[in-house]
C-alpha cells in the first residue's frame, strides 16, 4: 500500500528539555525552574518546554497512521543530538523525507525504514526524525497486515510471537517521596529512578543518596503489599564519578556499599560516572562490571550516557561493559534499531531495558511497548511525563491490550488447527 500524502503537526512533549551541563555546573532551582544561564547550544533557558512534531501518513485507503518526533530531556549532552527545534525539523522532513515516503510501499516495515532514512550527503538524518517516522511506518505496516505492531516486528525479525509480560519501570522526577508511594501502592516492578542529578541530591560522599536508597527500601516494606519485592533502580547521572572521582575501584566500592545497605533487594545503578567518551566509558564500565561480578554483588550497572546509537549498544554489549543497557529509544533513532538493540543485548547475555524519556508523547510510548514486548526486553520505561500515574497507565494498559490480543490470536489459531 502506497503513502499518498503526509501531514505534519507541531506539538508538545510530556515534560521539559533541560540543559544538563548547566545543572551539573550547579544551577540552583527556584520552584520548578532552574536559575542561571544555559550552557548548551540552542537553550534559551536551562529548562524549556519539550516540543514534538507529529507525522501522519495518509495511506491509499485514506487511513492515517501517526508517529511522533521529539528529543530527550537532556538533549545535547552525553553525545546526543542537539536540542530539538520544531521549525528546522519540519523544514527538513518536508524537503527530504516526505518525497521519499511518497515512493515507499508501506507493506514491509524494515525495507520502508531503510528507504526513508538513507543518508543525505553522507550525513544521517536527526535521530528524532527516524524515531517518529519509523513509528508511523510500523503503524502503516500493521494496518495493511491487519495485525498488531508487535506481530509485524516479530514477523520481520524472525521472532516467535511473545506471551510474557515485560516488567515496567517508573521514574519519580523531583517529587520523590510522593511518587515513590504511588509506585509502591501500584506495585511497580522496578522503581524509583530518583532523578539524582545534582550535588544537593547526591550529597557529600554520596550520603544523601545512600539515605534515600535506605528510605525507599524501608518504604517498600512499610506500605507495600505482602510479597511485593521490586527491583530498586537509581539514576545518578554520573554523580558517583563527579563526587568521589573516576577511579573504577572507588566507584565499585561505593556501589557495593549502596547495595549492601539494602541486601534484600536487587540494585540497579544507572550512569555511575561519565568518563568523557564512548571508548573510555566502555573501557571503564567493563572494569566496574568485572569488579562487582567478582564480588557476586547484587548491584547491576546500567549504561545510558555515551550509549546512544545501535552501534554504541553493540560496543557495550560485546565488551560486557554493563549489566543492563538503557536503549533510549529517541536517541537510537528508528524503532527498528531499538528492536535490533534488544536482540544484540540478548545475543551477548546483557540485559536490555527499553527506555526513553519523560519528554516523549503518549503515541511514541505506545509504539515502543510493541518493540519491548515483541523482543521480550528485560524491562521497559513507564513514559511519558514525570507524574508516574500517566506513564504507568499509557504503557501498562497498552501492554495489557497487546497481550490480550496476542492471546486471542493464539486461541483462534489453535481452534483453526
Q: Which residues are known catalytic residues? A: 328
Q: Which of 380, 343, 351 is nearest to 158 (CA)?
A: 343
The tally of CA atoms less than 13 A away on the side-chain side of residue 352 is 26
Do residues 112 and 339 touch, judged by C-beta distance below 8 A? no
**Which grid cell is 210?**
545512600
**Which grid cell is 19?**
540543559
Q: Which residues does residue 300 pair with via DSSP β-bridges, in sequence order?
A: 268
Q: Which residues contact 266 (CB under 8 A, 6 or more apart)?
A: 231, 232, 298, 300
**Which grid cell is 8?**
505534519
Task: Count, in order, helices (H) and strands (E) of the chain.
Answer: 17, 13
First to last CA, the chain: 30
343 membership: H or E segment, kind and range: helix 335-347
Torsion of CA 134, 140, 143, 145, to 10 degrees: -90
Do you find a cis peptide bond into 384, omega within 30 degrees of 0?
A: yes
* Integer angstrom CA distances of residue 130 from 15, 313, 354, 357: 21, 17, 17, 16
Amino acid at each position: 500500500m502506497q503513502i499518498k500524502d503526509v501531514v505534519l503537526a507541531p506539538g508538545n512533549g510530556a515534560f521539559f528539555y533541560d540543559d544538563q551541563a548547566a545543572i551539573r555546573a550547579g544551577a540552583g532551582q527556584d520552584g520548578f525552574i532552574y536559575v542561571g544561564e544555559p550552557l548548551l547550544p540552542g537553550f534559551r533557558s536551562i529548562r524549556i518546554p519539550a516540543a514534538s512534531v507529529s507525522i501522519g501518513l495518509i495511506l491509499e485507503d485514506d487511513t492515517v497512521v501517526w508517529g511522533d518526533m521529539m528529543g530527550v530531556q537532556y538533549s545535547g549532552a552525553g553525545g546526543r543530538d542537539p536540542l530539538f527545534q520544531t521549525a528546522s525539523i519540519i523544514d527538513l522532513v518536508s524537503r527530504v523525507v516526505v518525497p521519499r515516503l511518497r515512493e515507499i510501499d508501506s507493506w514491509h516495515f524494515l525495507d520502508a525504514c531503510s528507504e526513508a532514512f538513507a543518508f543525505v550527503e553522507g550525513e544521517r538524518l536527526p535521530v528524532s526524525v527516524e524515531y517518529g517516522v519509523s513509528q508511523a511506518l510500523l503503524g502503516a505496516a500493521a494496518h495493511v497486515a491487519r495485525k498488531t505492531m508487535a506481530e509485524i516486528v516479530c514477523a520481520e525479525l524472525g521472532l516467535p510471537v511473545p506471551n510474557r509480560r515485560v516488567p515496567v519501570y517508573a521514574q519519580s522526577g523531583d517529587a520523590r517521596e510522593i511518587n515513590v508511594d504511588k509506585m509502591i501502592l501500584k506495585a511497580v516492578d522496578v522503581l524509583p529512578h530518583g532523578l539524582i542529578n545534582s550535588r544537593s541530591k547526591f550529597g557529600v560522599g554520596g550520603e544523601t543518596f545512600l539515605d534515600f536508597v535506605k528510605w525507599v527500601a524501608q518504604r517498600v516494606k512499610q506500605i507495600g503489599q505482602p510479597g511485593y519485592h521490586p527491583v530498586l533502580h537509581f539514576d545518578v547521572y554520573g554523580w558517583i564519578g563527579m563526587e568521589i572521582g573516576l577511579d573504577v575501584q572507588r566507584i565499585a566500592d561505593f556501589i557495593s556499599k549502596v547495595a549492601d545497605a539494602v541486601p534484600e533487594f536487587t540494585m540497579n545503578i544507572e550512569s555511575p560516572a561519565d568518563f568523557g567518551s564512548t571508548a573510555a566509558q566502555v573501557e571503564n564500565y567493563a572494569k566496574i562490571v568485572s569488579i562487582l561480578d567478582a564480588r557476586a554483588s547484587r548491584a547491576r550497572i546500567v549504561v545510558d550516557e555515551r550509549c546512544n546509537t545501535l552501534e554504541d549498544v553493540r560496543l557495550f554489549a560485546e565488551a560486557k561493559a554493563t549489566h543492563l543497557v538503557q536503549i533510549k529509544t529517541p536517541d537510537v533513532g528508528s524503532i527498528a534499531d531499538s528492536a535490533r538493540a534488544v536482540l544484540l543485548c540478548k545475543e551477548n547475555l546483557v540485559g536490555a531495558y527499553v527506555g526513553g524519556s519523560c519528554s516523549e508523547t503518549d503515541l511514541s510510548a505506545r509504539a515502543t511497548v510493541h518493540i519491548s514486548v515483541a523482543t521480550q526486553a528485560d524491562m521497559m520505561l513507564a513514559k511519558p511525563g514525570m507524574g508516574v500515574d500517566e506513564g504507568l497507565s499509557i504503557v501498562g494498559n497498552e501492554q495489557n491490550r497487546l497481550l490480550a490480543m496476542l492471546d486471542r490470536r493464539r486461541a483462534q489459531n489453535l481452534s483453526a488447527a
